[in-house]
Structure 1
Amino acid sequence: MAGTSLLMLIDDIATLLDDVSLMTKAATKKTAGVLGDDLALNAQQVTGVKPARELPVVWAVAKGSMVNKAILVPAAVAISFFVPWLVTPLLMLGGGFLCFEGVEKLAHKFLHAKEDEQKKKELREALKKPEVDLKVLEKRKIKGAIRTDFILSAEIIAITLGVVAGAGIAMQFAVLSVVAVMITVVVYGLVAGIVKLDDVGLYLSQKDNELAQRVGNGILWLAPYLMKTLSIVGTLAMFLVGGGILVHGIPPIYNAIEHFAADFGGLATTLIPMLANGLIGVVAGAVLVAVITPLLRMWEARSEAG
């Protein structure tokens, strides 16, 4: 009897872990857009930090990210348990924010490119001055990165909660915890690798071996373009994922797109909904930016006046 009970327990644990694994995979796919943007944004946070301090800064932000998720995961499970009707609105809010953030990012890039370049120039000049307290600058960057991480982590948790909303509380907590830890490790592990990529390239380029020099020079050439590519892919994914969340939250639109795509068959069945999600994401983001941006400016003007 004891042996049978132990086998049943092992089987239950194995089934639970298998379910967690499957649901985690589904949740991770849906959070891909946020993940790409999370990676690009956090790697940019160490710009202006001395090379020797890059990894300690990334580690400090990673620890802050785990604290963020330690707050968000229990809060998400509590919402699902006590006010389950709130899951869908929160998910829609997260999708809308993704679309808003994507359009705002594009608008800022095209409308404020000169201002951003000027700020970078001022930062580089300031770092040359001996009176500048680099520790204060570093702490400010860490706090800013942790605030950014909290918003992106909230989006990831909200999207994941939408995937596991129908599961039991224990399953929800397990999946949310796995996703939270996994994404933190993956994002900040990659960020650490990216910010030190140029150091690896420089090290190899100074070797006597010709092959190592070529690889090192290739890495040095690639490093600047890698961040740009991550940013582009992350922004595109934000529209696809954010638009997809909004579409799924409005059944008539979702059903109409699915029926339309089904008439074509083949690859179009997948591509048409994806393109529709992206287009709806861009439109929704543009509308939200047009509505919210003036309100934010009015709020800022009133705050300055007060």
Structure 2
Amino acid sequence: MAGGLAALLDDIAAIARVAAASVDDVSAAAGRAGAKAAGVIVDDAAVTPRYVTGVDPSRELPMIRTIAIGSVRNKLLFIVPAALLLSVFIPWLLTPILMLGGLYLSYEGAHKVLEWFGVGHDSAHDEPAVEQGPEAEKKVTSGAIRTDFILSAEIMVIALNEVSEEPLVTRAVVLVVVALAITALIYGAVALIVKMDDIGLSLSQRDSEGVQKFGRGLVKAMPVVLKTLSIVGVIAMLWVGGHILLVGIDDLGFHPIYDFVHHAEEVVAGLVPAIAGALSWLTNTFFSAVLGLVVGLVVVGVVSVLPFGKGHASKSESEQSDAGAH
């Protein structure tokens, strides 16, 4: 009996060691996957604050919470299962699907750039969602969740690519860990950013003169920070969308554009070897953003001549005419 118990304890210990090793493997794989997707995570964090810019402070955190919940739902219910199934049965389809996401991001980014120059501007969007009512707020959060879906899909595909050689169960666990971790990271950071002015206001009412001064500085700085993040978010959409298209086109067999960018990276990196990596990244980012803008403008043009595009334009012009008449 004692021998049997000792054997049983040995088996349990062996199972525990295997389980511990598996946890270590998953943690390491999740770390690698998360690091590879870090650039897109930053993009996601930069894109989101613009959706609550100008919103009543009391509605900022509820809107961010709604977007975060939608992001988790996107990842766990749709993106992760779809990515795993595609990776098992039709892995070649991942690239075209991701490129559709790149087209959407490029379109959204180009549309915003045109609005900066007063082209296709919809004055209704100047009014904060909370002042337009619950339906407008719902529309804003829905748009943010749709954009998050594209960014989340790229993050998950990047993560999946990092662990593509792992067993299916390990891949699934890694993707779930990455999905939950990046959502907490992104929307925790976004919540902190958009509430920084409230934090500054609270600090400005403290007894310490130094703390008060720091708090007032935060309050004054936050409108500029949020405006800057809004611009960065648009540029990020063009960058990410363009990079998806750049890599996807190359993967599908058309190499000239990617080869040109790669050659430009090497040339620029060779100018200052000490910061070759940074120069290479900046070069790739620049050309990715340019490609995203060009493709996005083409898509905007195509959409504008389609029936639903024309209808939207006519509606906007009609609303502006009515406003002028009043």
Range into which the TM-score falls when normalised by the shorter chain: 0.7 to 0.9
Aligned to 1:60: 66
In the alignment, does 2:119 pair up with 1:109?
Answer: no
Which range moved further: 173-182 or 243-252?
Answer: 243-252
Mapped to 2, the partners of 1:122 and 1:100 lie a distance apart of 23
What are the superposed Cα offsets for residues 6-36 of structure 1, whole Å, 9 maximum, x if unpaired?
323322332232222222222x22424xx42
Mapped to 2, the partners of 1:237 and 1:48 lie a distance apart of 21
Aligned to 2:40: 31
Aligned to 2:178: 179
Aligned to 2:84: 77
Aligned to 1:18: 28
Mapped to 2, the partners of 1:235 and 1:67 lie a distance apart of 24
Aligned to 1:207: 206
Aligned to 1:147: 146
Aligned residue for 1:59, secondary structure, equals helix
Matches within 5 A, 1:210-221: 210-221=209-220
- CA gap 1:236/1:227 in 2 versus in 1, 3 angstroms: same
Instruction: Return the offset for 1:257.
Output: 5.3
Counterpart selection for 1:87 from 69, 72, 94: 94
Mapped to 2, the partners of 1:255 and 1:123 lie a distance apart of 44
1:69 maps to amino acid: K
Instruction: Return the offset for 1:218.
Output: 0.5
Mapped to 2, the partners of 1:162 and 1:141 lie a distance apart of 32
Instruction: Return the offset for 1:186.
Output: 1.6
- CA gap 1:185/1:16 in 2 versus in 1, 3 angstroms: closer
Instruction: Return the offset for 1:214.
Output: 0.1
Q: Which runs of 5+ in 2 are unaligned?
A: 1-9, 315-326
Instruction: Return the offset for 1:178.
Output: 2.1
Q: Verify the 8 A CA contact 1:201 1:218 in the aligned structure 2.
A: yes
2:69 maps to amino acid: K
Mapped to 2, the partners of 1:301 and 1:80 lie a distance apart of 35
- CA gap 1:302/1:197 in 2 versus in 1, 3 angstroms: closer
After TM superposition, the score normalised by the length of structure 1 is 0.78
Higher relative contact order (CA 8 A, sep 6+): 1
Which range moved further: 160-169 or 292-301?
Answer: 160-169
Mapped to 2, the partners of 1:141 and 1:271 lie a distance apart of 35
Mapped to 2, the partners of 1:121 and 1:105 lie a distance apart of 13
In the alignment, does 2:17 pair up with 1:7?
Answer: yes
- CA gap 1:74/1:285 in 2 versus in 1, 3 angstroms: same
Q: Verify the 8 A CA contact 1:257 1:273 in the aligned structure 2.
A: no
Q: Verify the 8 A CA contact 1:95 1:243 in the aligned structure 2.
A: yes
Matches within 5 A, 1:177-256: 177-249=176-248, 250=250, 252-253=255-256, 254=258
2:31 maps to amino acid: S
- CA gap 1:200/1:159 in 2 versus in 1, 3 angstroms: same
Q: Verify the 8 A CA contact 1:24 1:175 in the aligned structure 2.
A: no
Q: Verify the 8 A CA contact 1:240 1:274 in the aligned structure 2.
A: no
1:23 maps to amino acid: A
- CA gap 1:255/1:143 in 2 versus in 1, 3 angstroms: closer
Which range moved further: 251-260 or 173-182?
Answer: 251-260
Larger radius of gyration: 2
After TM superposition, the score normalised by the length of structure 2 is 0.74
In the alignment, does 2:57 pair up with 1:51?
Answer: yes
What are the superposed Cα offsets for residues 196-229 of structure 1, whole Å, 9 maximum, x if unpaired?
2221112222333211210111101111121133
- CA gap 1:46/1:228 in 2 versus in 1, 3 angstroms: closer
Mapped to 1, the partners of 2:51 and 2:96 lie a distance apart of 31
What are the superposed Cα offsets for residues 30-83 of structure 1, whole Å, 9 maximum, x if unpaired?
424xx42x3344323334543333322322222222112122211111111111
Q: Verify the 8 A CA contact 2:264 2:283 in the aligned structure 1.
A: no
Q: Verify the 8 A CA contact 2:105 2:238 in the aligned structure 1.
A: yes
Aligned residues: 293
Aligned residue for 2:52, secondary structure, equals coil
- CA gap 1:61/1:238 in 2 versus in 1, 3 angstroms: closer
Q: Verify the 8 A CA contact 1:30 1:159 in the aligned structure 2.
A: no
Q: Which runs of 5+ in 1 are unaligned?
A: none
